[in-house]
Structure 1
């Protein structure tokens, strides 16, 4: 009897070990590289929310790793390479400056699938994924153009890359559509996340007469500064309403989980392929969050109506004719920029009184 019990226990132990081995062999390892801390309450925070949702969706089929606050450049290449070396099947690199480091790592690890956010270079095992953030920026511009009392809105810009330049244009186009007297002031901070710099930039803009703050940086510092100074602002990447409830008009929220779930499932199924993916209002991967109930009714209606027109495809912010701020035609009449063209925008639209930094 004792022997039988021992044999049963041994058999159970062997079965458990085999099951664990099979699980370990079948479990997919997914890596993430973030440019900011997961607690930035903006871009990296929402990517990590997407990672967590994806992990919950797949349960024990997936294990995830993330590395936060990774500088763009050589440090990024080392981190991406280490993730590839340590057996990760899919690696998501979540900032524009990770583009070339991702491509270099992908060349060394051809069996690993890489997904790079906001870039434009692909290879056999590298895909790009991006949000149509310009859609949210256009709605932001409409709301800002209606709400401003000084006819001056501010934009805190991170780096002069196509995504940021495109979004600056979209804000101005939205504001101009409802306010012919609008002026847009831009401050470049050359960082994605630095609450001190972001706060200083916000205050500098307010000192220049800005009364609506829009940001392309990842901390809630500009909104907090806006609340302290009695002006309004719009949240970036995540719902920032809790940080400045009076100043907060609404946030444009990034929702990454659907893309992460879809991508990992495709790798599991063997159907993954290198491609460019753009998500926006149409598939709810970009959302309007927490519209301030105290906004005037006409502004709330305009936010809803503009969102609906863009989501349905009735309206696209970058449809010609359109000129740049030197007077050169950049979009012909009747033409809507393709995704490839949107990824290469390097001009300011007519009416923006500024130069793009080198």
Structure 2
């Protein structure tokens, strides 16, 4: 019996040494963030996902925050890769080329890049259909505005943000056809002072609801100071402006990151593009503020269910651009490829795409 036990132990040890038979007991997972983690915002939402991975048996995680896009990102990726990490999440669009470059040197490591489009055998991409949540928050804003002017503080004029602004506008127009959405670009993912200044400039020209696609809660605070309403992004921002905050479009990375880590452990991971939405729980809405009437909440929840049941398509025709040119005819809807490459604003948006 003792010989059989020893033999079984040796066989188990041999199997664990086989390629692809990694155990969670030695799984090292790294995360790279473009902004400080803080207590709200984009990197905070990703870090909640990291914490969920950390809870897995035998898994260790670490992260580097406030890593600028460009050469610094490549340096951090190289440093992490040299430390024998098994799985690395690079969580900002501008890390894309650095990920591809470094991944070629470390084919044994699995890399996941958020919001990008370049993949390799050991590089996958992932993002969420945040435009669905944006549409719903637009509905809330459209119902709550008195001036019919909504402000939107946004980082960079890239398809991801343009798509979100358009979805927000369409949601608002679905309940209030008179709504206009004014956009100000900050040209930065995280710059609280500039974000607040941009929000104040929108409030000064009549906006009474401020939405955002930037990382800090500064736009929420600006709205609260001026007695306006606000819509947050990335994580629930109610704590920063409780009297102003209507809801937030939020990321739920804890519903994805452990699944990817488990795939690496089980050697079932394959390079692919993940673009998940409301049905997968990757995106959602923060709780409604107490100022949002129950009738509005019910209306938004009905639209949410319709999106989940494929009864409501956000980018369905007829859709016109700012100049009145038909971009999506009635009866048609945009393909994923068209949405991912969106570079034009819908009617009702005031601002430029550059």
1:59 maps to what in 2? Answer: 57
Task: Specify the SS of the correspondent of 1:337.
Answer: coil
Distance 1:138 1:249 in 2: 14
2:207 maps to what in 1? Answer: 210
> Mean alpha-carbon deviation: is it higher for 122-131 or for 287-296?
287-296
Distance 1:335 1:223 in 2: 36
> Mean alpha-carbon deviation: is it higher for 253-262 or for 295-304?
295-304
2:4 maps to what in 1? Answer: none
1:38 maps to what in 2? Answer: 37
Assess if the C-alpha contact under 8 Å between 1:50 and 1:257 holds in 2: yes
Assess if the C-alpha contact under 8 Å between 1:152 and 1:211 holds in 2: yes
Distance 2:140 2:54 in 1: 36
Assess if the C-alpha contact under 8 Å between 2:53 and 2:61 holds in 1: no
Distance 1:225 1:252 in 2: 18
1:312 maps to what in 2? Answer: 309
2:6 maps to what in 1? Answer: none
Q: Which of residues 197, 202, 210 in structure 1 aligns to 2:194?
A: 197
2:225 maps to what in 1? Answer: 228
Task: Give per-residue Cα distances to partners, 1:178-218, cap 9 Å, x unaligned.
Answer: 21211111110011111111111111110010000100011
2:28 maps to what in 1? Answer: 29
> Mean alpha-carbon deviation: is it higher for 300-309 or for 169-178?
300-309
TM-score, normalization by structure 2? 0.90
Assess if the C-alpha contact under 8 Å between 2:155 and 2:214 holds in 1: yes
Distance 1:124 1:332 in 2: 38
Assess if the C-alpha contact under 8 Å between 1:322 and 1:331 holds in 2: yes
Distance 2:25 2:288 in 1: 44
Distance 1:343 1:190 in 2: 20
Task: Specify the SS of the correspondent of 1:292.
Answer: coil
Distance 1:263 1:327 in 2: 43
Task: Give per-residue Cα distances to partners, 1:58-83, cap 9 Å, x unaligned.
Answer: 222x1111000000111111111111
Task: Give per-residue Cα distances to partners, 1:74-104, cap 9 Å, x unaligned.
Answer: 1111111111111111110001111111111
Judging changes above 3 Å, is the alpha-carbon distance between structure 1 residues 144 and 277 closer, same or farther for their aligned structure 2 residues? same
| Superposed displacement of residue 266, structure 1 | 0.8
Paired residues in the alignment total 336
Distance 1:212 1:89 in 2: 44
Distance 1:324 1:226 in 2: 28
2:3 maps to what in 1? Answer: none
Distance 1:354 1:250 in 2: 24
Judging changes above 3 Å, is the alpha-carbon distance between structure 1 residues 107 and 330 closer, same or farther for their aligned structure 2 residues? farther
Task: Give per-residue Cα distances to partners, 1:271-324, cap 9 Å, x unaligned.
Answer: 111111112211222121121123223322222222222222211201223232
Is 1:100 the equivalent of 2:74? no
1:155 maps to what in 2? Answer: 152
Distance 1:186 1:167 in 2: 12
Judging changes above 3 Å, is the alpha-carbon distance between structure 1 residues 177 and 102 closer, same or farther for their aligned structure 2 residues? same
State the superposition RMSD in angstroms: 1.9
Assess if the C-alpha contact under 8 Å between 1:214 and 1:234 holds in 2: yes
> Mean alpha-carbon deviation: is it higher for 103-112 or for 330-339?
330-339
Task: Give per-residue Cα distances to partners, 1:300-351, cap 9 Å, x unaligned.
Answer: 2222222222222211201223232234433344333333322211111133
1:184 maps to what in 2? Answer: 181
Q: Which of residues 126, 130, 140 in structure 2 aligns to 1:129?
A: 126
Is 1:355 the equivalent of 2:349? no
Is 1:260 the equivalent of 2:260? no
Q: Which of residues 279, 282, 285 in structure 2 aligns to 1:282?
A: 279
1:70 maps to what in 2? Answer: 67
| Superposed displacement of residue 123, structure 1 | 1.6
Is 1:343 the equivalent of 2:340? yes
| Superposed displacement of residue 26, structure 1 | 4.8
Q: How does 1:314-333 map to 2 (within 5 A)?
A: 314-333=311-330
Judging changes above 3 Å, is the alpha-carbon distance between structure 1 residues 25 and 192 closer, same or farther for their aligned structure 2 residues? closer
